[in-house]
Structures are given as structure tokens and as C-alpha cells.
Structure 1
Amino acid sequence: MLRFTLRQLSYFRATAALGSIASAAKELGVSTAAISAAIDNLEAIAGTRLFNRFPAHGVKLTPSGEILEQMARGVLAEAEKWAQGARNLRTDAGGKVRIGTYLALVYVFAIPILMRNREIWPKVELDFVESSHPNLLEQLNKGHIDIMMPYDLCFEREGYDVVDLAKVEAKVVLPASSPLAGRKRLALGDLEGLSYVRLDREIPGRTMLDLLYARGIKPPIAFSSSSYELVRSAVGKGLGFTFSMFQPHNAITYQGDRLVCIPLEEPLQQVRIIAACRKGRLQEDIIRNVISTSRHVLEAADSRN
């Protein structure tokens, strides 16, 4: 059982910062007796002196006191985080939040984020916008969307409030009928001779095909589409393989074929999904709450993959 309080730690820190019990008492609006009692209690618990007292010259931390003051700083910082989380949960902020992201991410995350937010923030209405990276960035800058959730590939963070949501890596998507489907992991060499089904996209950075070429693997392109589900369906019919950052809950395509998602022995690409909003908007309860909930949803999905 703890034998000290956060208030006593705050008295201890204020005294260390100001170098005087009297100054700390004045700063905090309490009596010098309260400060002294807090320090005496902490010294009794620690079994050592925290301050050297100098009559008429205040106090100074002992070596032990310096160590414990740093620890107290960390405890108080964590306590403030907890308090902020509690304040966020109490908030009744409501309204509409528009989230812009890629179509492939919407398929996987939109509904879990929507349902989780409805559970915690019933007064918040979410609206998802699916588009290309350049268009989403333009809509964010114009205020047409409130939050953009892209990959961090070449995203210029300056000028935005940015929160990292989850780190993901590309996995190979194959039909369940493939001879490789039972493997736990694949080497890049296992992809030699296979055709590639390409998802056309407008996302900054090198494409998965570019990364394959850089490793000396140049698969023929069997099919291309900007539709995430159409690419999955083509893979399911055996036209080739593709890549996905996440294994969707539904491994069945629209055509009724089962897919498998297999990680590589050496990741071909690792990226972060981020949440970005215009500078200053992260201070708004409604924006901060939606981003926080989204992070928990994505982190949970990442742990399952």
C-alpha cells in the first residue's frame, strides 16, 4: 500500500524547484507546516534525507533527493496523463468529424472505428471520405475533412498535428489454393515466377512493385485495378499475388474465393498509419477523442496480424 500521496510529491517537487519551504508554501498556497510534514513523511518512507537544510539559506536536494525528485517528476507526469484521460472520458463534446483515408484502409477500419466511437462518444457522428492522397491532403488543408489517416510515406508533418496510430508491414496475399498458402512465412525468392496483381493508387513513395524491382524481382503484371476488392477477387481466381498491410477479417472475396495473407521473412516495407489534422486542432476534445479511439482500434488490429 502506498504511504504517500501525489500532493506530497508535488510539495516535494515545488520545494526542490524553489529551494525553500517558505517559497513552496507561498507558491502552492498552503502552510509551511504542510510542506514540512510532507517532506518529513517522504523522508521517513525513503529512509534517508531528501534535503540538506541551511538556516536562512533554504534547502538543497541531497544526492538521494535528486534521484527521488526525478522519479517524482515521472510519477506526477503519469498522474497528469491519467487525469487528462479521465477528463476526456467525461467530456460530452458532440458534433460531426470527417475522416479522410484510403479506400483500402476504409474497408478494414472504418466500421470498427465507427462502432467503437459510438460506444464511447455517442454524441459524435463520424463521416468517412475515401480518396487519393493528394485529394485528401487538399481537403484537409481546405477544412473539408477534419482528420486525415494516411500512411506516413513522404507525409510532410510540418504544419500539422500528427499522431502515430500503428506500424504495419506488407504481407503477401495469395489464393488459398496456392501451393504456398500453407507457409508461415515467405521469402522473396518464393515469389519468382508468379504474376502480380497491382492495386493502382495515388499514394506518395515507392509502390510495392518498385520495391520488388529494387530486389531484383520483376513479376509480369496480370491485372491492375484501383478497386481494392477487384484486386482481391483477381488474386482469389489465381491471376497472381498482391500485397496488403492487413489481413481483413473476411478472407473471402466477392467471388467466393478464400485468400491467405502471409508475412515475409524479411519485411519488404514497414510503414506507419498516422492521423493528421491542421495545426492546433488536436487541442479540441472531439478531435483528440476520435484520434485516441482510432489508435486503440488500429493497435488492436495490428496485434492480430
Structure 2
Amino acid sequence: MNNFSLRMLRTLVAVSETGSVTAAADRVGRSPGAVSATVQQFEEELGIQVFVRKPAKGMAVTSYGKLLVLEAKGLLAHADEFRSIAGALGSSLHGDITVGCFTNLAPMRLAGLIAGFKEHFPGINVHILVGDQETLLQGLHSGTVELAISFDIGLTDALAATPLATMPPRAVLPSSHPLAAAPELSLADLVDEPFVLMDLPYTREYFLSIFHALGLKPKIAYRSQSFETIRTLVGNGLGYSLLNLQPETDQTYDGTSVVHVAIRENLPPLQIVLLTLKSLTRRSIVHTFKEYAANYLRNRHRG
């Protein structure tokens, strides 16, 4: 594998633009001998002649060489851009950002994410807005939220979404349910039983569309905007539900327990995503939080 340093690439470009080893050496601050050796090393490693040496006329670029020089210029431009971004990050890692998080995700992921981020970047203060999808989308479009951790529902073309994890819907049953131990089940097996609906904007439409796509109609017995209320209603045997998120424990707040069972039908999953407004130029500290959050959340949902 060839490993070419940025210094080598700058030397190559300098020789091509000046047409002279001596002039290139002056430009890059090296000796003519070092420049000549760099060109020779580059050609030997690639097995391609980049320059034609013409006595008293300097260095002429070959046709293959012109392509390589063009690619080298592109790589150097990216390197310069990277240096600028890194410099901006290093000089401005202080300030305040407001991050939104979907209400059901927040108890499971937000605190650990912020704690780890604060340990790495103590100069950045993170303010949080926890809400349903409608609240988060409004916050992003109004600019009151610079980044949101949520799901890929109800999104507009104005938003950029970075996918983090795929979450299929699962049936949530009381632990005493006859199908609680099943490795998977059909939604048709449950449709005649009472259904507990997660009644949040965009979320309710998503779950109801699952039944509609299968030609089924749920018997909605209870509605709630609270994730844990849904689980306690199910845990007390008052119905079943559909959820895409599964907490670390099957025990509910009131001591009952539920199980999450895979559904046999090929149902549309939800994606956990990081959302930003495309038209909003992200500040350095927002870029830093986004990169940290993406790595943290992907690792938490891996496997």
C-alpha cells in the first residue's frame, strides 16, 4: 500500500507548476536534491513516469502525470479545509448549544450522552429540550434547537437526517400473556385484544398505519402520551401495545413486567436519527456535539 505524505504531494504539485526542481525547492522550502529524490520515490512507488526530464528545459508533466497532479491538488485542498475546520474547533470549544430529544428516547440515552460529552468538552454547556416529534420539528425550523435526536417520521426536505440505528416495532405484552414466550408472533394474533396506543403526534399515525397496511383494525382501549404509562397499562394486563424502543429492564414503574416480542410480518421500522436544519450553518461546537453523539448512540445500539 502506498503512503504519500502531504509534503510529498505539495512537492509534486510545485514541480508541475514551476517546471523546475530548483524553483519547486524554493517554493516548498527544501533543497533541490530533496525535491528530486521525492519525485523519484513517488514515480518508483507508483510505477508511473510523472515527469519527463528535459536538459536545460526543466521538467515536463506526462499525460499520466497531469491526472495525478490534479488528484494531488484535490487532496491538498481537502487537507487545507480539514485544517481550517480543526483550527476552528480547537479555538471555539466553549459556548452554549440547545439539543432536542424525543420524549421516549430521552430517559434511555440523553443523560449518558451528555455526561460523556461534558467529560470530553467541559467548556460546552448543553441545554436540552425534551418533546414529541412535532415539538422538535418546530424547534429545528424556528432555530431554537440546533440539533435533535429523534426518529425519521414527519421530516421535510429542509432537514438533514443522519441515521444511527434501525428500530423495528415489537409487540409489548404482559409477562403473563399466553404468547409472552413466543420467539415471534403475527399481529393478527393480537388484533382482537385491547390495544394501548402511543398517542403522540406523528407516532400515533405511524402505529396505526402498520395495522392499516395489513388490513387490520386495532381495538383501541387506552391512549397515552407517556412511554411508561403505556408499559404499566400493558403490565397490568389491560391490553397489548407496539413500541420500537425497549428499555434495559422489563419491569415497569409499578412493579409489573412486560415482554417485547418480535413481529413476523415485515413492518416498516423507525430510524433513530440526528436532525439538523440544512440551511443553518452549524457552529463548531454543534459540529463537535453531532460527531460525539453519532458515535455514542451508534455504539449503544450496535448489535
TM range (shorter): 0.7 to 0.9
- Report if the CA contact (8 A) 2:99-2:145 is conserved: yes
- Percent identical among aligned pairs is 23
Distance in 2, Cα, partners of 1:138 & 1:24: 58
Distance in 1, Cα, partners of 2:264 & 2:78: 38
- Report the AA paired with residue 212 of structure 2: Y
SS of aligned partner of 2:261: strand
Q: TM-score, normalised by structure 1?
A: 0.78
Change (3 A) 1:131 1:22: same
Q: How many residues align?
A: 297
CA distances 1:101-153 after superposition (whole Å, capped 9, x unpaired): 32112122211211121121112222221223333333333333332333222
Change (3 A) 1:171 1:15: farther
- Report if the CA contact (8 A) 2:191-2:219 is conserved: no
Deviation (angstroms), 1:177: 2.6
Correspondences of 1:33-112 after superposition (within 5 Å) = 33=32, 34-46=34-46, 48-53=47-52, 55=54, 58-62=60-64, 90=90, 93-112=93-112
Deviation (angstroms), 1:248: 1.6
Q: Which moved more, 1:212-221 or 1:143-152?
A: 143-152
Deviation (angstroms), 1:76: 7.0
Q: Which moved more, 1:114-123 or 1:235-244?
A: 235-244
- Report the AA paired with residue 232 of structure 2: S
Q: Paired residue for 1:171, among 152, 169, 172?
A: 169
* Structure 1 vs Structure 2 CA RMSD: 3.9
Unaligned runs of 5+ in 2: none
Deviation (angstroms), 1:302: 2.1
SS of aligned partner of 2:196: strand
Distance in 1, Cα, partners of 2:268 & 2:26: 53
- Report the AA paired with residue 146 of structure 2: D
- Report the AA paired with residue 135 of structure 2: N
- Report if the CA contact (8 A) 1:281-1:287 is conserved: no
The aligned residue for residue 143 of structure 2 is 143
Change (3 A) 1:62 1:150: same
Change (3 A) 1:137 1:286: same
Change (3 A) 1:69 1:168: same
Distance in 2, Cα, partners of 1:80 & 1:204: 44
Q: TM-score, normalised by structure 2?
A: 0.78
Correspondences of 1:1-305 after superposition (within 5 Å) = 4-12=4-12, 20=19, 25=24, 29-30=28-29, 33=32, 34-46=34-46, 48-53=47-52, 55=54, 58-62=60-64, 90=90, 93-158=93-158, 160=159, 162-172=160-170, 173-203=172-202, 206-272=205-271, 273-277=273-277, 279-282=279-282, 284-304=283-303
